[in-house]
């Protein structure tokens, strides 16, 4: 019933849109009827354009996420376990974090040229910060007694990290990486739209500029679907793996 109600409006809009396009008979360079969009989507799926472009975007986004998120994971553990370092780095972090990743696009073009390298490094920069901040907060929230236990057991630093810190903070790191995944896709697509001749974003830009509104709308929908699918899959995994543990409130 809930689903039915949710579907009423989108379906009604689609029907009105389709009828309006057919009745008015406009040949528009910027609008296409839903049926034309569906046809363009099907065609672009079939001739391999969408799968190929999606693979390019995901490759850049996920590699960047692995690099940015991975180094943030290490950095946040250091910040969390050695408070003086966290205090000393605070000003540098606060100054660097608000730099919008897109402002660095020209820097990346200048130093790396077009291609995967610049896109990956921009995604890495953008995904570094959320994982660092959430991760640091997660470690600060570890039950102090757990750390006491690790001290009593005389675990080495490595043992402390792998046996106590990581297991205790895993659910929160998972949430951090889920949010960073969304960021990575957004940044990748944005970089492609703004400059980089790769991936779905570039295809979308080309469709818009070569006056193919049907393909353009199909691609926008597809990007939304990819983002939705990634987030949905990670949410599902999060619920399966951690249950309510991951639902703990994270301050923004």
Partner 1 sequence: MTIASRTFWIAGSIMVTALLVWGWQLIADYGGIPPVFLPGPDRAFRALLSGFDGGELTRLTRATVERMIYGWILASLAGIVVGALIGSSRLAREYIAPMLEIVRPVPVSAFMPVVMAFLGLTGTMVLVVIAIGSIWPVLLATVHGVSSVEPRLMEVSQSLRLGRLRTLWKIALPNAQPDILAGMRIGLTVALILAVVGEMLTSENGLGWYVLQSARAYRSADLFAGVIVLGLIGLISNLALQAVERHVLRWKRR
DSSP codes of every residue in 60-79: HHHHHHHHHHHHHHHHHHHH
Give the total of residues touching partner 1 (CB under 8 A).
57
CB of 184 to partner 1, least distance (A): 10
Q: Give the integer Cα–Cα distance in Å for 62 and 173.
A: 16
Q: Which residues of 172-187 are buried (b: 16+ CB within 10 A; e: fewer)?
A: bbbbbbbbbbbbbbbb
Asked if residue 155 lies in contact with residue 164, where contact means CB atoms within 8 angstroms, the answer is yes
Residues 120-179 that bind partner 1 (CB under 8 A): none
- In order of 73, 83, 175, 229, 231, the CA distances from 172 in angstroms are 11, 19, 5, 21, 16
Which of 19, 20, 29, 148 is the binder for partner 1 (CB under 8 A)? 29
Comparing CB distances to partner 1, the nearer of 13 and 248 is: 13
CA angle 106, 111, 116 (to 5 degrees): 85
Q: Which is nearer to partner 1, 139 or 185 (CB)?
A: 185
Q: Tell me if 20 contacts partner 1 by CB under 8 A.
A: no
Could you identify the residue written with the tokens 């990346």? 108
Among 33, 73, 164, 195, binds partner 1 (CB under 8 A): 195
CA separation for the pair 68, 189 (Å, rounded):
17
Inter-helix orientation angle 83-96/49-81, to 10°: 140
Least distance in Å: CB of 218 to partner 1? Answer: 11
Contact pick of 95, 145, 154, 244 for partner 1 (by CB under 8 A): 95
Beta strands in the chain (DSSP E): none
Of residues 7 and 153, the one with the C-beta less far from partner 1 = 7
**Tally of residues, the chain:** 252
Q: Count of CB atoms within 10 A of residue 196's CB?
A: 26
Considering the complex, state which of residue 13 and residue 153 has its C-beta at the smaller distance from partner 1. Answer: 13
CB of 235 to partner 1, least distance (A): 11
**Is 249 among the residues that bind partner 1 (CB under 8 A)?**
no
2 in contact with partner 1 (CB under 8 A): yes
Q: How far is the CB of 114 from partner 1 (least distance, A)?
A: 12
Q: How far is the CB of 158 from partner 1 (least distance, A)?
A: 26
By CB under 8 A, is residue 201 in contact with partner 1?
Answer: yes
Which residues would be at the binding site for partner 1 (CB under 8 A)? 2, 5-10, 29-30, 87-92, 94-96, 98-107, 109-111, 182, 185-186, 189-190, 193-195, 201, 204-205, 207-209, 211, 213, 216-217, 219-220, 223-224, 227-228, 231, 252
């Amino acid at each position: 019933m809930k689903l039915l109600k949710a579907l009423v409006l989108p379906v009604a809009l689609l029907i009105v849109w389709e009828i309006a396009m057919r009745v008015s008979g406009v040949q528009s360079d910027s609008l296409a009827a839903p049926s034309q969009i569906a046809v363009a989507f099907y065609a672009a799926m079939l001739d391999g354009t969408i799968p190929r472009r999606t693979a390019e975007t995901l490759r850049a986004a996920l590699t960047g996420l692995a690099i940015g998120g991975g180094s943030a994971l290490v950095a946040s553990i250091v910040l969390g376990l050695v408070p003086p370092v966290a205090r000393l780095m605070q000003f540098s972090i606060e100054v660097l974090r608000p730099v919008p990743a897109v402002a660095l696009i020209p820097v990346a073009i200048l130093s790396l040229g077009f291609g995967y390298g610049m896109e990956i490094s921009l995604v890495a920069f953008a995904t570094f910060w959320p994982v660092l901040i959430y991760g640091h907060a997660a470690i600060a929230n570890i039950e102090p007694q757990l750390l006491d236990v690790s001290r009593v057991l005389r675990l080495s630093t490595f043992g402390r990290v792998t046996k106590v810190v990581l297991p205790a903070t895993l659910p929160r790191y998972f949430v951090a990486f889920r949010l960073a995944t969304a960021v990575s896709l957004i940044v990748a697509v944005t970089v492609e739209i703004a400059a980089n001749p790769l991936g779905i974003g570039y295809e979308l830009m080309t469709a818009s500029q070569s006056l193919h509104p049907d393909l353009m709308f199909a691609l926008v929908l597809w990007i939304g679907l990819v983002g939705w699918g990634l987030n949905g899959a990670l949410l599902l995994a999060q619920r399966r793996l951690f249950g309510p543990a991951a639902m703990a409130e994270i301050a923004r």
